[in-house]
Structure 1
Amino acid sequence: MDTPPTPQVNRWKTLDKDLGRIGTLELATQYVARPLVAPGVALAFVAVVAIAAAVFSGGSPDRLLVIAAAVFGAYMALNIGANDVANNMGPAVGANALTMGGALVIAAIFETAGALIAGGDVVSTISGGIVAPDALGDGQAFVWAMMAALLASALWLNLATWLGAPVSTTHSIVGGVMGAGIVAAGFGAVNWPNMISIATSWVISPVLGGIIAAVFLAFIKPRMIYAEDKIAAARRWVPLLVAVMAGAFAAYLALKGLSRLVKLGMGTALLIGLIVGVVTWAIAVPMVRRQSEGLENRKKSLKKLFGLPLVVSAALLSFAHGANDVANAVGPLAAIVHALGDGQINGSVAIPVWVMMIGAAGISFGLLLFGPRLIRLVGSEITKLNPVRAFCVALSAAITVIVASALGLPVSSTHIAVGAIFGVGFYREWHAERRARQLGLLKGKPVAPEERTRRKLVRRSHVLTMVAAWVVTVPATALLAALLFLGLSALAA
Structure 2
Amino acid sequence: MANAPQGSQWKTLDTDLNRISQVELATAYVGRPMVGMGIALAFMVLAGVAAAVFFGQTPVSFVVVVAAIFGAYMAVNIGANDVANNMGPAVGANALTMGGAILIAALCESAGALLAGGDVVSTISKGIIDPASIADTKVFVWAMMAALISSALWVNLATWVGAPVSTTHSVVGGVMGAGIAAAGLGAVNWSSMSLIAASWVISPVLGGGVAALFLAFIKARIIYQQDKIAAARIWVPVLVGIMAGVFAVYLALKGLKKVIDVDMPTALLIGAVVGALAFAISTPMIRRKSEGMENRNKSVKLLFGLPLVFSAALLSFAHGANDVANAVGPLAAIVHATEFGVSEAKVVIPLWVMVIGAFGISFGLFLFGPKLIRMVGSQITKLNPMRAYCVALSAAITVIIASWLGLPVSSTHIAVGGVFGVGFYREWHMERRLRSPDVQAGTVKRIAPEERRRRKLVRRSHFMTIVAAWVITVPAAATMSALVFWVLNAIAN
Where do residues 17-28 of structure 1 align in structure 2 (5 Å cutoff)? 22-28=20-26
Report the counterpart of residue 359 of structure 1 in structure 2: 357
Structure 1 residues 442-451 or 413-422, which shifts more?
442-451
TM-fit CA distance, 1:267: 1.0
Where do residues 184-199 of structure 1 align in structure 2 (5 Å cutoff)? 184-199=182-197
Take 1:468 and 1:38, find their aligned partners in 2: how far apart are those partners?
A: 28
Where do residues 240-251 of structure 1 align in structure 2 (5 Å cutoff)? 240-251=238-249
Take 2:213 and 2:443, find their aligned partners in 1: how far apart are those partners?
A: 27
1:63-85 alpha-carbon deviations (Å, 9 max, x no partner): 11011000110010000000000
TM-fit CA distance, 1:29: 2.1
2:161 to 138, 160, 163: 163
Equivalent position amino acid for 1:378 in 2: V
Report the counterpart of residue 102 of structure 1 in structure 2: 100
Report the counterpart of residue 344 of structure 1 in structure 2: 342
Where do residues 218-237 of structure 1 align in structure 2 (5 Å cutoff)? 218-237=216-235
SS in 1 for 2:57: coil
TM-fit CA distance, 1:325: 0.3
- The answer to whether the Cα contact below 8 Å between 1:437 and 1:443 also exists between their aligned partners in 2 is no
1:79-99 alpha-carbon deviations (Å, 9 max, x no partner): 000000000000000000000
Take 1:82 and 1:126, find their aligned partners in 2: how far apart are those partners?
A: 24
Equivalent position amino acid for 1:284 in 2: S
Take 1:232 and 1:16, find their aligned partners in 2: how far apart are those partners?
A: 64
**1:24–1:209 Cα change, 3 Å:** closer
Equivalent position amino acid for 1:462 in 2: H
2:34 counterpart of 1:36: yes
**1:389–1:62 Cα change, 3 Å:** same
Equivalent position amino acid for 1:385 in 2: L
TM-fit CA distance, 1:32: 2.1
SS in 2 for 1:260: coil
**1:382–1:130 Cα change, 3 Å:** same
SS in 2 for 1:146: helix
Report the counterpart of residue 454 of structure 1 in structure 2: 454
TM-fit CA distance, 1:241: 0.4
Report the counterpart of residue 316 of structure 1 in structure 2: 314
2:60 counterpart of 1:62: yes
TM-fit CA distance, 1:154: 0.3
- Kindly tell me the number of residue pairs found equivalent between the two proteins: 488
Take 1:467 and 1:24, find their aligned partners in 2: how far apart are those partners?
A: 41
TM-fit CA distance, 1:279: 0.7
- The answer to whether the Cα contact below 8 Å between 1:161 and 1:374 also exists between their aligned partners in 2 is yes
Equivalent position amino acid for 1:489 in 2: N
Equivalent position amino acid for 1:115 in 2: A
Report the counterpart of residue 117 of structure 1 in structure 2: 115
2:143 to 142, 145, 160: 145
Report the counterpart of residue 483 of structure 1 in structure 2: 483
- The answer to whether the Cα contact below 8 Å between 1:205 and 1:416 also exists between their aligned partners in 2 is yes
Equivalent position amino acid for 1:150 in 2: L
1:90-123 alpha-carbon deviations (Å, 9 max, x no partner): 0000000000000000000000000000001001
- The answer to whether the Cα contact below 8 Å between 2:436 and 2:444 also exists between their aligned partners in 1 is no
CA RMSD across the alignment: 1.7
Take 2:187 and 2:94, find their aligned partners in 1: how far apart are those partners?
A: 49
The unaligned stretches of length 5 or more in structure 1 are 1-5
Take 1:447 and 1:30, find their aligned partners in 2: how far apart are those partners?
A: 48
TM-fit CA distance, 1:436: 3.0
TM-fit CA distance, 1:455: 1.7
Where do residues 391-406 of structure 1 align in structure 2 (5 Å cutoff)? 391-406=389-404
TM-fit CA distance, 1:444: 3.5
Equivalent position amino acid for 1:31 in 2: Y
Take 1:277 and 1:338, find their aligned partners in 2: how far apart are those partners?
A: 42
Take 1:286 and 1:165, find their aligned partners in 2: how far apart are those partners?
A: 42
Take 1:28 and 1:240, find their aligned partners in 2: how far apart are those partners?
A: 52
TM-fit CA distance, 1:294: 1.0
Structure 1 residues 434-443 or 361-370, which shifts more?
434-443
Report the counterpart of residue 388 of structure 1 in structure 2: 386
Structure 1 residues 95-104 or 432-441, which shifts more?
432-441
Take 2:290 and 2:419, find their aligned partners in 1: how far apart are those partners?
A: 27
**1:347–1:304 Cα change, 3 Å:** same
Take 1:95 and 1:439, find their aligned partners in 2: how far apart are those partners?
A: 32
TM-fit CA distance, 1:7: 4.6
- The answer to whether the Cα contact below 8 Å between 1:72 and 1:150 also exists between their aligned partners in 2 is yes
Take 1:19 and 1:418, find their aligned partners in 2: how far apart are those partners?
A: 48
Report the counterpart of residue 9 of structure 1 in structure 2: 4
1:141-182 alpha-carbon deviations (Å, 9 max, x no partner): 100000000000000000000111000000000000000001
**1:17–1:424 Cα change, 3 Å:** closer
1:432-458 alpha-carbon deviations (Å, 9 max, x no partner): 122233361893466542222122111
- Under a length normalisation based on structure 2, what TM-score does the superposition of the two structures give? 0.96
- The answer to whether the Cα contact below 8 Å between 1:108 and 1:367 also exists between their aligned partners in 2 is yes
SS in 2 for 1:228: coil
Take 1:20 and 1:376, find their aligned partners in 2: how far apart are those partners?
A: 33
Take 2:220 and 2:248, find their aligned partners in 1: how far apart are those partners?
A: 28
TM-fit CA distance, 1:50: 1.2
Where do residues 169-318 of structure 1 align in structure 2 (5 Å cutoff)? 169-318=167-316
Take 2:382 and 2:19, find their aligned partners in 1: how far apart are those partners?
A: 44
1:261-304 alpha-carbon deviations (Å, 9 max, x no partner): 11111111111111110111011111100111111110110011
SS in 2 for 1:127: coil
SS in 1 for 2:59: coil
Equivalent position amino acid for 1:465 in 2: T
1:397-442 alpha-carbon deviations (Å, 9 max, x no partner): 0000001111100000000001111110011011112223336189
Take 2:423 and 2:252, find their aligned partners in 1: how far apart are those partners?
A: 30
Equivalent position amino acid for 2:398 in 1: T
2:128 to 130, 139, 144: 130
2:406 counterpart of 1:408: yes
Equivalent position amino acid for 1:71 in 2: I
Equivalent position amino acid for 1:306 in 2: F
Report the counterpart of residue 3 of structure 1 in structure 2: none
SS in 2 for 1:349: strand
Report the counterpart of residue 82 of structure 1 in structure 2: 80
Equivalent position amino acid for 2:116 in 1: A
Equivalent position amino acid for 1:463 in 2: F
Take 1:46 and 1:35, find their aligned partners in 2: how far apart are those partners?
A: 17
SS in 2 for 1:372: helix
Equivalent position amino acid for 1:228 in 2: Q
Equivalent position amino acid for 1:296 in 2: E
What percent of counterpart residues are identical? Answer: 70
Take 1:380 and 1:18, find their aligned partners in 2: how far apart are those partners?
A: 41
Take 1:190 and 1:28, find their aligned partners in 2: how far apart are those partners?
A: 51
- The answer to whether the Cα contact below 8 Å between 1:436 and 1:442 also exists between their aligned partners in 2 is no
- The answer to whether the Cα contact below 8 Å between 2:437 and 2:445 also exists between their aligned partners in 1 is no
Structure 1 residues 24-33 or 194-203, which shifts more?
24-33
- Under a length normalisation based on structure 1, what TM-score does the superposition of the two structures give? 0.96
